[in-house]
Amino acid sequence: MPVLVMKFGGTSVANLDRIRRAAKRVGVEVAKGYDVIVIVSAMSGETNKLVGLVDETSPLYDAREYDAIVSSGENVTAGLMALTLQEMDVPARSWQGWQVPLLTTSAHSQARIEEIPTHNLNAKFGEGMRVAVVAGFQGLSPEGRITTLGRGGSDTTAVAFAAAFGAERCDIYTDVDGVYTTDPRISPKARKLDKISFEEMLELASLGAKVLQTRSVELAMRFKVKLRVLSSFEEQSDEAGTLVCDEEEIMESNVVAGVAYSRDEAKMTLLSVADRPGIASIIFGCLSDAGVNVDMIVQNISEDGRTDMTCSLPTDQVARAKQALEQLKTDGGLNYAELVTDDDVAKVSVVGIGMRSQSGVAAKMFKVLSDEGVNIKVITTSEIKISVLIDRKYMELAVQALHDAFELEKA
């Protein structure tokens, strides 16, 4: 039988009533003739509670025990979903990551999926099981320990299962009814997209859109898994939600597909750094070793053999970055005049595959921001994206103005 993967996020399984509602959706797909793999998250708020218990017990915790604890929320949901389906006379059973097994690396709390052997689930499908309810977010390390995939890891679990089992589609059920041109809470004119390309979705996810985890979109693009984002709380049709698919499946795209933002950004500048080969490697190698995720990078024009180096990073990593760079200066590996940080900035981006074939998008974006009195601190571009760093107080104004200027409310 054809396989369908259905993933239900924490808000979709927050209580027994919602689990029953989700189970009914699964039952509909079983009635259509699918063998269904259901990936479930922990009930809403449960993972945060478990993380809090770990922090309270052991601030410098063993990452292996952390994974054993925080993965338990998904196990509870999987069992409850399987029981609910059984009550509906749907042959179902729950699976924990180690039972599948979903094989991962040993990087606890940030493990990456290595392989999903299909024989165990396929054997049970052959024996009459119609639904495999799999605990998302978790796997098994080479050492035989439970691992977790990082926040949002259930999305990645779902896409990985869809790829491994050659699923017809992977449906991601969440608390929104699709992917929007921007955050509807900021712009009331935001429009739900019927389709969006993998590349556009990947950029939007990496730039701050919270609908899908970035790694899940990367996997879907790599293995050509059709993704559909839907609401758990609305009536469904075959055209519901947003389909994330190959660019070729979209007849004609707007130049700009969406406006994304990231509120919690910071800007860091090293003043008067030696302008010589290898200096960028020293700086960003140091930040990488400290676990700092650098995004935008700008180097000023050299003067008298010195230059300034600016980058953006998450606000919660500023202290770690400053400590690493100051230590590097103390050790003599890097000489700079001053380290300047600005914790009050935001990143706003426009994304669209149509940019490849149409010029003037950057000029229009900069003109719109200028007209609104918004000063641009840093600019980066790619083939389908333009991002700017601005003062955080202007973030919502910038998002609304750009959404209006590119007329994203129009299909």
Spatial separation of the C-alpha atoms in residues 136 and 155, rounded to whole Å: 8
The encoded tokens of residue 70 equal: 């925080």
What is the predicted pLDDT for the residue at 68?
Answer: 97
Spatial separation of the C-alpha atoms in residues 360 and 55, rounded to whole Å: 50
Q: What is the largest CA-CA distance in the chain?
A: 78
What is the predicted pLDDT for the residue at 53?
Answer: 96
As a whole number, the mean pLDDT across the chain is 92
What is the predicted pLDDT for the residue at 175?
Answer: 82
Tokens 């839907």: give the residue. Answer: 230
Residue 237 in this model has a pLDDT that exceeds 80: no
Task: Name the burial class of residue 201, with classes exposed (0-12), middle (13-18) and buried (19+) by CB atoms within 10 angstroms of its CB.
Answer: buried
Cβ(348)–Cβ(399) under 8 Å?
yes
What is the predicted pLDDT for the residue at 322?
Answer: 95
Q: Is the pTM of this model over 0.75?
A: yes
Span 203-217, pLDDT tens digits: 888 776 677 888 899
Rounded (10°) CA dihedral 149, 152, 154, 160: -70
What is the predicted pLDDT for the residue at 254?
Answer: 78
Span 115-154, pLDDT tens digits: 999 999 999 999 999 999 999 999 999 999 999 998 889 9
The amino acid occupying position 148 is: T
> Mean per-residue pLDDT for 231-256?
79
Rounded (10°) CA dihedral 31, 34, 39, 40: 0
Q: Given CA atoms 94, 98, 100, 106 in this order, what sign does their dihedral have? A: positive
> Mean per-residue pLDDT for 56-68?
93
Residue 79 in this model has a pLDDT that exceeds 90: yes
State the DSSP code for 176: S
